[in-house]
Chain A
Amino acid sequence: MRLINSIGEWLDARLQLGSSVRETAEHPVPRETASWFYVFGSAAFVVFLLQIVTGIMLALIYVPSAGEAWNSLQTLNHNVALGWFIRGLHGWGSNFMVAIVLIHMVQVFLFGAYKYPRELTWIVGVFLLLVTLGMAFTGQVLRFDQDAYWGLGIGASIASRVPLMGPSIVNLMLGGPIIAGATLSRFFALHVFVVPGLLIAFVAVHILMVLKLGINEWPMPGRVVRKATYIKDYHELTKKDGIPFVPGAIWKDLFFAAFILLSIAACAWYFGPFGPSGPPDPTIIQTAPRPDYFFLWLYAVLSFLPPSMETPALLIGPVVGILALLLLPFVFGEGEKSWRRRPTAVLTILLAAVSLGTFTRLAEHTPWSPVMDAWSGIPIPSEFLHNRSALERQGALVFQVKQCHNCHSLGEQGGKRGPALDAVAMRLTQDQLIRQVIQGGGNMPAYGKNLSPAETTALVAFLETLHPAGQSPARDASRAVALGTDAGEPPSTDQ
């Protein structure tokens, strides 16, 4: 013990850091900020440290070459002792980091911490969110598999829509005309050098400002921020009712950080690393690429935007969103901090959470995508075929062979791209069915050229059987009159 003390004294005599470190550690913070609500910033920082350490571990084996990257990931997963676990830590660490950064942001927003004098801390925080997402996207590219390859294609397709510069931006992003070796090399440089450099710089400034300006006090309804008096009030508060940060508040940060690290390790251990999925061979087209978890909402938005809205929304939407975040502390720099007096702020968070949650959930099911193998892999449930005529069964066959099942479900099975057809005969008359099949429309391709008259007749005969038992299908009353047949008689199928 005496040896450690004397070494410490020897070092401090030369470094001259002891007193300033002690001063920083023991600076007074408002008593109520020693709260479990104030642990997310430090937890994000600790996860970032984990990412640095595990990232360096992975770089010992990983080969940033388009021809070898996928193989080196297989080696990491299977041939290097606990390589799979380090990959798991890094992958789950990335998900946890994005999640904690978002939670931290929500807490800071609801506690009004972005208001005077902490506007710049918030702005640097917005940059930190952007570089964290940048790390998540570039990291997904380094896991150079099918998802990464086609994900880059999606990125390039979005970038190409920038007016005038689009194609040049694509070449710059890919490092050439196609997604290939140069693309992976530059995303490696971004993920390992450029973006982490920015991240370290922003984190340093962010933490420095928290120390210099003091942690945001616990918001009390009625305690209003005014530029003229805030700093004096804050200093009085910390003097009157402050506790030293160490150990008064830091023990909760330490507990939570350890809990998060343990959770990441548990996820890595039980669920293992992410991928890689199939090799990045663009001639393997039997693939349905999907982005990582935190970009799933965007994947869903892209399938719901109408074509005319897509380019403006993709190019202008992010700019507006980021500008709104950056301007927030200037527009609402004073006033109430407490969420109890800021219903709009609470509603904004709820709206964002519900929207992102809904889109993410939808993207997990991709109801907008055809089920590519439904026609050959998912049979029509037998209750739709019982007691059917030969013509109707022939129609069921046409339904499968012409891939109708890829987009339309029967008995909850099959594609969800188009409407479920379990009761289609209740909605459309025979004429309307024929017209819809032949001409398409309403986002359905026209099948007129691909179906013979006999096939159309059979298919429509099958579709007309799709109605709940005991309920009669939709019928065109005027048609019966025009043809002079009895309205009770089923309409004839010859066209």
Chain B
Amino acid sequence: MSFPPGVTRRDFFMKIGIFFNGIVGVVLAVPIVRYLLSPVARERKAGYESWIPLGNLEQFPSGETRLATYRNPVVNTWDGDTADIACWVRNVDGKTFQVFAINCAHLGCPVRWFPQSNLFMCPCHGGAYYQDGSRASGPPERGLFEYHYRIESGKLLIKAGEMPTPGQASNIVREIRPCA
């Protein structure tokens, strides 16, 4: 075997060695990247959301807004309390409901319900929302996040499983338009 002038046999083998390591690097990078992206890939395939019962309808009296909690459907045994998620259930008129995410639409802090003034208030940056979830004042750009719900054999179910965030493209959490 002959080499072009100026290239020694050892140079040639070193270059093959580097090339060979490059190939192996790419082969290893594929599973590593796939592993790192697993939280994202999962979302694209099956989605994180499912229908979760919040409790019997009697727990949510007509005309009132009550705190409800549920265990997140995607859960590991070591998640502890963090997989217990809270939400606000508003029974509008006995038949219609609104289920709001606990997270403020500004930066995700937990909003609190004040039945006396019919407002949700956020402790972080002072966002406030009306009882129907629409924005009342403060830094939020929109109303509270609202879960889809359905009623099945006397139980209230919501479609949930992912923390709602302002930039979320998902149509699971629908946007509430401000009233008038």
Contacts and interface: CB of A to CB of B under 8 A. Distances in A.
Interface of A: 65-68, 149-150, 153-154, 156-162, 166-168, 170-172, 174-183, 279-283, 285-289, 299, 302-303, 305-308, 310, 368-370, 372, 375, 401-404, 406-407, 417, 440, 443-447, 449-450
A401 B114 CA distance: 10
B79 interface: yes
Given A68-B80, A177-B162, A285-B102, 17 more contacts: A153-B103, A153-B108, A154-B108, A156-B165, A170-B163, A172-B37, A181-B80, A282-B81, A283-B69, A285-B111, A287-B123, A369-B126, A375-B114, A401-B116, A443-B137, A445-B117, A445-B136
Contacts of A157: 103, 106-108, 165-167
10 tightest Cβ-Cβ pairs between the two chains A and B: A67-B80, A160-B167, A160-B165, A153-B108, A166-B167, A445-B136, A177-B48, A281-B81, A177-B162, A303-B125
Interface stretch (B15-23, B56-64, B70-78): B70-78
Contacts of A308: 141
Contacts of B165: 156-157, 159-160, 166-167, 170
Nearest to B47: A177
Interface of B: 36-37, 39-40, 42-43, 48, 67, 69, 72, 74-86, 102-103, 106-112, 114, 116-119, 121-126, 128, 130, 136-141, 161-163, 165-170
A28 to B, nearest CB: 42
B interface: dominant SS: loop
Contacts of A444: 137
Contacts of A66: 78-82
B121 to A, nearest CB: 5
Contacts of A156: 108, 163, 165
Contacts of B79: 66-67, 180-181
B107 A302 contact: yes
B37 A180 contact: no
Contact of B166 (A160, A172, A288, A372): A160
Contacts of B83: 178, 180
Nearest to B76: A181
A184 B156 CA distance: 32
B81 A172 contact: no
A306 B141 CA distance: 9
Contacts of B48: 176-177
A174 B163 contact: yes
A273 B118 CA distance: 40
A157 B127 CA distance: 15
B168 A167 contact: yes
A interface: dominant SS: loop
A168 B141 contact: no
B43 A168 contact: yes
B80 A440 contact: no
27 contacts: A67-B81, A68-B78, A150-B109, A153-B103, A153-B108, A157-B106, A157-B165, A158-B107, A160-B167, A166-B167, A166-B169, A167-B165, A171-B40, A171-B43, A174-B39, A176-B39, A178-B162, A182-B76, A281-B81, A282-B110, A283-B81, A285-B110, A289-B109, A369-B123, A406-B114, A445-B119, A450-B118
Given A160-B166, A171-B43, A403-B114, A153 B138 contact: no
Contact of A153 (B84, B107, B114, B161): B107
A375 B116 CA distance: 10
Contacts of B170: 167
A438 to B, nearest CB: 13
A177 B119 CA distance: 28
A302 B117 CA distance: 26
B137 A445 contact: yes
A282 B102 contact: yes
A403 B167 contact: no
B167 to A, nearest CB: 3
Nearest to B163: A178
B82 A180 contact: yes
Contacts of B166: 157, 160-161
